Amino acid sequence: MARRRDGGQSLVEFALITPLVLALLFGIVEFGRGFQPWLEITNAAAFGARTGAVGAPAADIEAATRGAAATLDPAAVTVITVTASATGRLK
């Protein structure tokens, strides 16, 4: 009985599937790299809002927000504090 050789077919299938799997893998990694800064900015904003909600001064709010976003480029992070007056208008 002659032995069938499927080595060539397997190699072709591997060559066709490998780029697709690698593209999917690198796409997942790049999505994670883009999602991480967004998540850190969101968490830093929430941390700053919590700090401000307890009546902390603006300098403490900015320090807390910048501290929560420590892995981001400090020159690219802008912290804006808004205070409301008794009339409900923003200052």
For 65-89, what is each residue's pLDDT tens digit? 999 998 888 888 888 888 776 676 6
Is residue 87 included in any domain, yes or no?
Answer: no
Is residue 81 included in any domain, yes or no?
Answer: no
| Residue labelled with tokens 């501290």 | 67
Is residue 72 included in any domain, yes or no?
Answer: yes
Is residue 30 included in any domain, yes or no?
Answer: yes
pLDDT of residue 88: 62
Dihedrals phi, psi of 24, to nearest 5 degrees: -65, -45
Identify the CA nearest to 47 among candidates 67, 31, 21: 67
- From residue 88, alpha-carbon distances to 2, 21, 30, 84, 85 in Å are 89, 55, 43, 6, 5
Is residue 85 included in any domain, yes or no?
Answer: no
- Strand ranges for the chain from DSSP E: none
Residues of the chain with confidence (pLDDT) below 70: 1-7, 85-86, 88-91
Residues across the chain: 91
What's the CA gap between 6 and 35, in Å, rounded?
43
